[in-house]
Structure 1
Amino acid sequence: MLSNTTTCVIKVKPGLTRQIINLQHQGYCHDFVKLTNNNFLCLTTGQEFTAPEVEITVLNQIFDPQKKQCAYLHSIDTAVGLKGLLLIDSLCFNTTAY
Structure 2
Amino acid sequence: MASFIETGGAWSTMEDVLLCECWVQISHCPVTGSTCTEMPLSNRWKLFNKELGKWRDALAKVRGNHRSGENLSNKIMQAQMWFGAIG
TM-score category of the 2 structures, normalised to the smaller one? under 0.3
Structure with higher Rg: it is 2
Structure of greater relative contact order (alpha carbons < 8 Å, 6+ residues apart):
1
Q: Report the structure, 1 or 2, having the larger strand content.
A: 1
Q: Report the structure, 1 or 2, having the larger helix content.
A: 2
TM-score by length of 1: 0.22
